[in-house]
Amino acid sequence: MKKILFFLLALFLTSSFSYAQDSNSSDASLGGYIWYDKDLDGIQDYGEHEVRGVRVYLLKDGVETGEYNASDESGTYLFENLEPDHNYSIKVLLPINYKSFTIPNQGDDDSIDSDIIKEQKENVDIDGETKELVVGYSEEIYLKSGDHYRDLDAGMLCRCVAWIDVEKSTNGVDADYADDAIEVKVGDEITWEYNITNSSLVTINDIKVVDDQEGEIDCPKDSLAPGEEMLCIKKGIAKEGLYRNVAVVSGTDENGTAVEDEDPSHYIATSNLACLGDFYWYDENLNGIQDKNEYGVVGIKVELYDQNKNLLKTSKTDKDGKYLFCDLEPGNYYVKFDLPNTYLFIPKDRGSDIKDSDADSNGWSHLVELSDGEKDLTIDAGIYCSCQEYEVTGVKRDLSAISPFIGFVILIIMFLIAFTIKPEKTKSR
């Protein structure tokens, strides 16, 4: 028993010492993974494969070092023996059968996202021949002595299969989100443009463009060669309120495989009367502010009252968590927000009027004064689940500083050492 315990203890100390030696190494290294992002989500998912033979160049403090290598059969690359205390980044050459780099910095795990934050066309010397290629630049990583970073990754979108894109605009504006909605007057002419592009290396046939509000859209042709594009146009008359329509383009490749893409746009049409809105969201981190990655809540009842709290109108939040009341005479109004079961309203007025919550604990806003033709889109409501292990300040409760299991194992080892390892007694003469 003693020998086993001594062996385990020695093994632990040896591995710890070896790790300390590696960590204290005076050099540094940088590596990562090149992969095909099949579902376009910016995350290295199960079933998405590596991309081999991709040239990766090393930059030091923003300047190319001239050093490069290619991703190996597992899709990884590695630069070793780097001088510490410098910023390092990579430049990646996009293979010709790939469309672009995927969206960077998705999710909360840096080890499975893509870090290419900029791409552009450059003239690159490839074995003495100059070629114009698409290149991607990563974010910078500061390496100290002993740092061995392995997660500077690059995801790519492939053009080796049929790929079609639609970019939809309203009156020339790419208003994908409600916050980007162009402002028009009721009765104004609206022009929607649908720019259709074959982004693949194969011909796409049977192309059809359908707008979920405006119906099928007439286009110049129903087939596009590789890299070809066309513009389809639809005109209409602005309707009152927030208007969202989505374009869907579909087609088939030469093997009959279906391809599809979609893109929304928005406008908001008002009369000379006033409007009041706008956002109902789930405050995930409980800071009282509408943060970038926090989403609206759909289908919540919102009521409009006059200054005497007489009910005037009722609406519901849309698929983006937005609501809007228009055709309002100048005057004073309250907004009352409904509350789902097990949820509570966050504290109000924690930041700027545009990004904070305006609902009190009962769902009532403050009294809002609207002038002639005014559009006030700052009356928001944030909620959180009452079942959360959170204080309202957004700080999680620190339930334990150490895993109970690990603590139990440590106690057992200490007990065994104490009662099995005893000093040898010398015989008296």
CATH number of the domain that residue 350 is part of: 2.60.40.10
pLDDT over 90 percentage in the chain: 62
Q: Is the confidence at residue 420, as pLDDT, over 80?
A: no
Q: Please tell me whether residues 39 and 137 are part of one structural domain.
A: yes
Q: What pLDDT is stored for residue 171 in this prediction?
A: 95
- What is the pLDDT of the chain when averaged over all its residues? 85
**Half-sphere CA count of 357, side-chain side, radius 13 A:** 28
419: its two tokens = 């009662």
Say if 418 falls within a structural domain.
no
Neighbours of 228 (CB within 10 A): 14
Beta bridge partners, 149, equal 30
What span, in angstroms and rounded, lies between the C-alpha atoms of 407 and 14?
22
Q: Is the confidence at residue 426, as pLDDT, over 50?
A: no
Residue with tokens 């519901």: 316
Confidence of residue 9 (pLDDT cuts 50, 70, 90): very low
What span, in angstroms and rounded, lies between the C-alpha atoms of 262 and 155?
22
Q: What pLDDT is stored for residue 401 in this prediction?
A: 35
CA dihedral 307, 310, 312, 316 (to 10 degrees): 100
Looking at 243, 270, 297, the residue that finishes a domain is 270
Q: Averaged over 392-415, what is the pLDDT?
A: 44
Q: Averaged over 140-144, what is the pLDDT?
A: 96
Q: Please tell me whether residues 188 and 148 are part of one structural domain.
A: no
Q: Please tell me whether residues 46 and 120 are part of one structural domain.
A: yes
Say if 402 falls within a structural domain.
no
**47 vs 80 pLDDT, higher one:** 80
Q: What pLDDT is stored for residue 414 in this prediction?
A: 55
Q: Please tell me whether residues 187 and 227 are part of one structural domain.
A: yes
Q: Please tell me whether residues 101 and 222 are part of one structural domain.
A: no
User: What is the three-class DSSP state of 385?
Assistant: strand
Confidence of residue 86 (pLDDT cuts 50, 70, 90): very high
Say if 131 falls within a structural domain.
yes
Say if 410 falls within a structural domain.
no
Give the ranges where 307-348 is alpha helix by DSSP (H): none
Q: Averaged over 403-429, what is the pLDDT?
A: 48
Q: Is the confidence at residue 361, as pLDDT, over 60?
A: yes
Q: Please tell me whether residues 58 and 110 are part of one structural domain.
A: yes
C-beta of residue 375 within 8 angstroms of C-beta of residue 391: no
Say if 168 falls within a structural domain.
yes
Confidence of residue 408 (pLDDT cuts 50, 70, 90): low
Say if 38 falls within a structural domain.
yes
Say if 424 falls within a structural domain.
no
Q: Is the confidence at residue 64, as pLDDT, over 70?
A: yes
CA-to-CA dists, residue 419 to 6, 7, 21, 50, angstroms? 14, 17, 33, 53
Q: Which has the closest alpha carbon to 356: 286, 408, 415, 419?
A: 286
Q: Please tell me whether residues 126 and 184 are part of one structural domain.
A: no
Say if 427 falls within a structural domain.
no
Q: What pLDDT is stored for residue 99 in this prediction?
A: 82
Q: What pLDDT is stored for residue 262 in this prediction?
A: 93
Q: Averaged over 7-12, what is the pLDDT?
A: 44
Q: Please tell me whether residues 265 and 303 are part of one structural domain.
A: no
Q: What pLDDT is stored for residue 125 in this prediction?
A: 87
Q: Please tell me whether residues 60 and 149 are part of one structural domain.
A: yes
What span, in angstroms and rounded, lies between the C-alpha atoms of 332 and 307?
5
Looking at 135, 158, 181, the residue that finishes a domain is 158
What span, in angstroms and rounded, lies between the C-alpha atoms of 303 and 338?
8
Q: Averaged over 60-80, what is the pLDDT?
A: 95
Backbone region of residue 214 per phi and psi (left: phi > 0; alpha: psi in -120 to 50; beta: other values): alpha
Q: Averaged over 122-126, what is the pLDDT?
A: 89
Q: Please tell me whether residues 255 and 282 are part of one structural domain.
A: no
- Most confident of the ranges 21-25, 44-48, 76-80, 181-185: 76-80
Give the structural domain span for 247.
164-270
CA-to-CA dists, residue 31 to 11, 28, 108, angstroms? 30, 11, 20
Q: Which has the closest alpha carbon to 285: 388, 399, 401, 359?
A: 388
Mean pLDDT lowest for which of 84-88, 189-193, 248-252, 292-296?
A: 292-296
* Burial (Cβ within 10 Å: 0-12, 13-18, ≥19) of residue 383: buried
Q: What pLDDT is stored for residue 255 in this prediction?
A: 82
Q: Please tell me whether residues 144 and 43 are part of one structural domain.
A: yes
Confidence of residue 214 (pLDDT cuts 50, 70, 90): very high
Confidence of residue 48 (pLDDT cuts 50, 70, 90): confident
Q: Averaged over 215-231, what is the pLDDT?
A: 94
- Most confident of the ranges 8-17, 75-84, 117-126, 173-182: 75-84
Phi/psi for 36 (5° steps) reads -95, 115
C-beta of residue 283 within 8 angstroms of C-beta of residue 357: yes
Confidence of residue 25 (pLDDT cuts 50, 70, 90): low
Q: What pLDDT is stored for residue 20 in this prediction?
A: 37
pTM to 2 decimal places: 0.40
Residues 71-84 pLDDT 10s: 999 999 999 999 99
Q: Render the burial of 249-274: b for 16+ CB within 10 Å, e for the rest.
A: bbbbbeeeeebebebbbbbbbbeebb
Q: What pLDDT is stored for residue 22 in this prediction?
A: 42
Residues 239-281 pLDDT 10s: 988 999 999 999 998 888 899 999 999 999 877 778 999 999 9
What span, in angstroms and rounded, lies between the C-alpha atoms of 199 and 209?
16
pLDDT over 70 percentage in the chain: 84
Residues 163-180 pLDDT 10s: 888 999 999 999 898 888
Report CA 197 to chain centroid distance, whole Å: 24
Q: Which has the closest alpha carbon to 290: 157, 383, 204, 362?
A: 383
CA-to-CA dists, residue 46 to 11, 50, 99, 309, angstroms? 35, 11, 21, 55
C-beta of residue 16 within 8 angstroms of C-beta of residue 136: no
CA-to-CA dists, residue 414 to 8, 40, 97, 115, 336, angstroms? 13, 51, 60, 45, 61
Total number of domains constituting the chain: 3
